[in-house]
Amino acid sequence: MTEHQYEVWTLDTSIDKSTLERLGDARQAADRLDTGVGCLVVGDEDCDSDSLFRHGADLVIQAKVKDAGGLTRVAAAERILKPRNPRLVLASGDCAGREWAARLAVRLGWKLVSPALMARVGPAGDLEVTGLDPTGRLSRKVNSRMGETVVVTFRAGVAEADEADPNRKGRLETVEVESLEEPVQLEESIPADPETVDIRYANRLVSGGRGLGGKEGFDELRAFAQKIGAGVAASRMAVDLGWIEYERQVGQTGKTVKPDLYIACGISGASHHLAGISGVEHVVAINTDPEAPIFSLAHLGLVADLYEVLEQAGRAVEDRELGGE
């Protein structure tokens, strides 16, 4: 075959199961187009070219480069694929593959369908690609005429690998490409504000029930929660009484929570509430009723006035922060 007879390509940095899956669809499209399949592998690892040949590749180009970042990968693909004017380019559907595909399509003015479900060749040699919207629930048809190039990404498991043919052979080429200076990416983890974070994602929660005695009781809970870096939650009864908003409700009719620490204040512990905290790492229950069901789940139970306990605990926290005893 001449260089321009490889019109269907796959893009990868290493060879894995998803590579062979895309290669199966590439082989089917190439057979309908009466052309060959090329595989471009950009990276410093030696690829298993024999496996690629057995699964349908005709040409494997190993672009040798160390620490290939996004700019290096797209520059290598542009240099190697642009003069070959491919009809179809199949990339991985993971984050790196989708970035690679998008950059390449923009650089060369090619169509992009990402992610996609399938790519089929029509009777007249036109390509029909079924694409997905970001939710994965809706699909669309994208047509590519003769002379157009479309870049497609497939998520793992979407395409299907052909059965390996041990007698298939192909051609391996190794080329050197230049490693480009990549932009520096800085990442920072910013902890969520305990006062505003969704209670499902809070590491600590102070939760109140009917035992608070009134809406003003949650002011006390918020003050204590702020001292220990916790969010505020509530039982269904407290929400039904209008003492706190529904989004703070824990239980089967509210939210299931799994913080490291859950302090239940004045909550008797109805079954639907206990179901909502069954996955909590440490449950501390404060209630004046020694028979309260909440104690059956608590790791530490205090039969006491909750306001006295919160006052003493809050003072202990303040003393520790000030270096006191």
CATH 3.40.50.620 domain residues, the chain: 3-176
Please say whether the beta carbons of 71 and 133 come within 8 A. no
Domain 199-321 maps to which CATH number in 1.10.3720.10, 3.40.120.10, 3.40.50.1220, 1.10.357.10?
3.40.50.1220
CA 289, 291, 294, 300: dihedral to nearest 10 degrees?
80
pLDDT of residue 69: 83
Q: Could you read off the pLDDT of 144-154 as tens digits, one per residue? A: 888 889 999 99
> Where do you find CATH 3.40.50.1220 in the chain?
199-321
Please determine, for residue 325, whether its predicted confidence score (pLDDT) is greater than 50.
no
- pLDDT value at residue 146: 82
Mean pLDDT of 186-213: 89
pLDDT tens profile 302-318: 999 999 999 999 998 88
| DSSP H stretches of helix in the chain | 17-33, 49-54, 70-81, 95-108, 217-228, 236-240, 271-276, 306-321
- State the number of CA atoms in the 13 A half-sphere of 108 facing the CB: 28
* 132 has a pLDDT exceeding 50: yes
Q: How far is CA 146 from CA 107, 184, 250, in A?
A: 20, 40, 59
Structure tokens at 164: 């390996």
pTM, 2 dp: 0.59
Does the structure show a pLDDT above 60 at 4? no
Q: What per-residue confidence (pLDDT) applies to 199? A: 95
Q: How many Cα atoms within 13 Å fall on the side-chain side of residue 238?
A: 34
Q: What CATH number does domain 3-176 carry, 3.40.630.30, 3.30.9.100, 3.40.50.620, 3.40.1360.10?
A: 3.40.50.620
Q: Is the pLDDT reported for residue 238 higher than 90?
A: yes
Query: pLDDT at residue 220 above 90?
Result: yes
pLDDT at residue 47, rounded to an integer: 84
- Assess whether pLDDT exceeds 60 at residue 3: no
Mean per-residue pLDDT, 293-301: 95
Average of per-residue pLDDT values in the chain: 90
Q: What is the pLDDT of residues 71-120, one digit of tens each?
A: 889 999 999 999 999 999 999 999 999 999 999 999 999 999 988 888 88
> Residue 1: is its pLDDT beyond 80?
no
Rg (CA), the chain: 30
* 100 CB-contact burial (10 Å; exposed 0-12 / middle 13-18 / buried 19+): buried
Q: How confident is the model at residue 323 (pLDDT cuts 50, 70, 90)?
A: low
Residue 280 has pLDDT above 90, yes or no: yes
